[in-house]
Structure 1
Amino acid sequence: MVSQVVWAQVRSKAGRLVERPVRELRGERLEEYEAVWQPPRYQGRRAIATWWRPADRARHVGCAHLGALGAAVSLEADRDVVAFASWPMRLHWADDAGGYVPDFFVRLADGRVRLLVCRPAGGSPQRWEAAAELLEAAGKQADWQVHVHEGTADPVVFSNLQRLSRWRHTRLADADTARVLRKVFAEPQPLAVGVRESGLPELPTVAKAHHLIWTRKLLIDWSSPYMPHRSLVWAPEGVV
């Protein structure tokens, strides 16, 4: 079936659902399209649907369950990712109206596209095999990468990402504060100690320092639980 044409259902700018062969979407900025689907809401639903707002973008992305939320956090932290959106298309074969909705459409810094999908826990292996075949064919026809998110390999790293993601927004970027803190952290020391040594106002400086850690302009050991009063922070070599 990989040789069959894959169709995609997307929303037009007017909000109408339209269908096109997926190869015709090559080059389309689907990360800017509205979602074609949202998880159903009903009493007793076992998965937890939630929303994530990428830094400095007005539109939230939907996460059908906590595994998808983890994938969104990982995408946000990925330096190669410039934008991503949830559920902007439904893929299907010409003779199948059901199809599959990828979790995320991802735009990379080099212009390439990645479909990121979270394999559902449990469920029918046959259904997942059919979805994987559909995704593989769509990727080949539209020249998209297809990645299956299997969860974060290191739970400590992911816990650090979750914690520091609160300071991901660029409104916290401050070049003057960054220059002072890079000098203060020329030698590794705990964040709380360095902030006190900087002489800058404590609360806003802590927030700006965390933003610098999120953007990797200050460094930590991501493999150890991050604690501001104990974990060492340092500036990258050669950066003043």
Structure 2
Amino acid sequence: MVRSLEVLPGGSAGPSSSGFEVAYVAPDRTELRRPLVEAWAVPFEHALPVRAFASYRRQRNLPGLWWSATMGRHVGYESWLERDHAMLLDFDPAVVGISSQPFWLFWSAANGRPLSHAPDYFARRDDGTAVVVDCRPAERRGPRDVVKFEATAAACTEVGWEFRLLGAPDAVVVRNARWLAGYRHPRHRVEPTASRLREVFAEPLPLMDGAAEAGEPLAVLPVLFHLLWSHELTVDVSVPLHSGSLVAPGVSR
């Protein structure tokens, strides 16, 4: 769904898992710090952000809050790039949990200098696996950043998490997901219209043809877009969404 995605190998940037520590804030606001090997099973998807999202005049980046349909609450972001990736994680049907700034990772450089990094996101998949995400355009990854990203990748490898270093996502996918995200709230799941739409699109049909068959399009379309967001119906989001886009059955929920 995205381009500029790199799954970095673990390796030379950091020490073994015995040298990594994580600090995080539990849902009850308890602050904890422990060796990474003792925290690999912590449900970081429910952790609170370990640092605040700064906001000030003439700020170059644009922080904010994304209301996550997956979590039923807000997830923070520090730039529009992070916002887009938070949205795409929220849109991913395999993702069941998301948190922003989920933990501090601590380790020591080869010269003994202490280093730390807070990844942008932690996501839990429905099979129990996890992915740690950092968002940074390729042209803005300086040498110090690369050291931290490589160390984070090494730490993730040690505990069996995937690490993704993400640049700009595919523009068409983002536009389509952003449109559908406008209908992500459960209030758009209206019955019996939702059930009728699943019946109509039991076989693939063009979007507007199926909407018209299900009822008055002005009433039906918000429900249809919600079902596309939740993947109960599916459409190819790699090409621009339009009235003739082929809509097909999706995931049964």
- Class of the TM-score when normalised by the shorter of the 2 chains: 0.7 to 0.9
Q: Which residue of 2 aligns with 1:157?
A: 173
Which residue identity lines up with residue 160 of structure 1 in the other structure?
A: N
CA RMSD of aligned residues (A): 2.6
| CA–CA distance in structure 2, aligned partners of residues 124 and 151 of structure 1 | 13
User: Is the CA contact 2:23–2:33 (under 8 Å) kept in the aligned structure 1?
Assistant: yes
Corresponding position of 1:213: 228
SS in 2 for 1:53: strand
Match of 1:172 among 163, 183, 188: 188
- Partners in 2 of 1:148 and 1:217 — Cα distance? 29
Shift of 1:21: 1.1
- 1:2 and 2:19 matched: no
- Which one has the bigger strand percentage? 2
* Paired letter, 2:210: G
Residues 92, 98 of structure 1: 8 Å contact kept: yes
Query: How far off is 1:122 after superposition?
Result: 5.0
Identify unmatched segments of 5+ residues in structure 1.
none
| TM-score (norm. length: structure 1) | 0.84
Letter in 1 for 2:235: I
Match of 1:65 among 52, 56, 79: 79
- Alpha carbons of structure 1 residues 65 and 121: separation in structure 2 relative to 1, 3 Å: farther
Amino acid at match of 1:135: T
Match of 2:150 in 1: 133
After TM superposition, the structure 1 stretch with the greater mean CA deviation from structure 2, 73-82 or 164-173, is 164-173
- Are the aligned partners of 2:24 and 2:104 in contact in 1 as well (CA < 8 Å)? yes
Q: Determine if contact 1:6/1:134 at 8 Å carries over to the other structure.
A: no
- How many residue pairs get matched? 233
Give how far 1:6 is off: 0.9
The aligned residue for residue 109 of structure 1 is 126
Is the contact between residue 218 and residue 234 of structure 1 (CA under 8 Å) also seen in structure 2?
yes
- In the alignment, the residues of structure 2 paired with residue 190 and residue 144 of structure 1 have an alpha-carbon distance, to the nearest angstrom, of 38
Report the Cα distance in structure 2 between the residues aligned to 1:104 and 1:18, rounded to whole angstroms.
18
Residue 206 of structure 1, CA deviation:
1.7
**In structure 1, what residue type is equivalent to 2:135?**
C
Instruction: Call closer, same or farther: CA 1:160–1:134 in 2, change over 3 Å.
Output: same
Alignment CA distance shift 1:161-1:18 (3 Å)? same
**How many angstroms apart in 2 are the aligned matches of 1:233 and 1:44?**
44
Corresponding position of 1:33? 47
Contact 2:136–2:166, Cα closer than 8 Å, also in 1: yes
Cα distance change of structure 1 residues 40 and 203 upon mapping to structure 2, 3 Å threshold:
same
TM-score w.r.t. structure 2 length? 0.80
2:244 corresponds to which of 228, 231, 235: 231
Check 1:178–1:18 CA distance in 2 against 1; reply closer, same or farther (3 A cut): closer
Q: 1:215 deviation in Å?
A: 2.8
Q: In the TM superposition, what whole-angstrom CA distance separates every residue of 1:202-239 from its partner, at most 9, and x where no partner exists?
A: 54422111112223333334233223xx33343339x9
TM-fit CA distance, 1:98: 4.9
The whole-number CA distance in structure 2 between the counterparts of 1:96 and 1:108 is 35
Residue 54 of structure 1 aligns with which residue?
Answer: 68
2-structure distance, mates of 1:52, 1:151: 18
SS in 2 for 1:226: coil
| Residues 1:218 and 1:175: Cα distance change in structure 2 (over 3 Å) | same
Secondary structure of the 2:32 match is strand
Q: Paired residue for 1:42? A: 56
Q: Which has the higher contact order (CA 8 A, sep 6+)?
A: 2
1:22 aligns with 2:36: yes
SS of 2:127's partner is coil
Match of 2:3 in 1: none
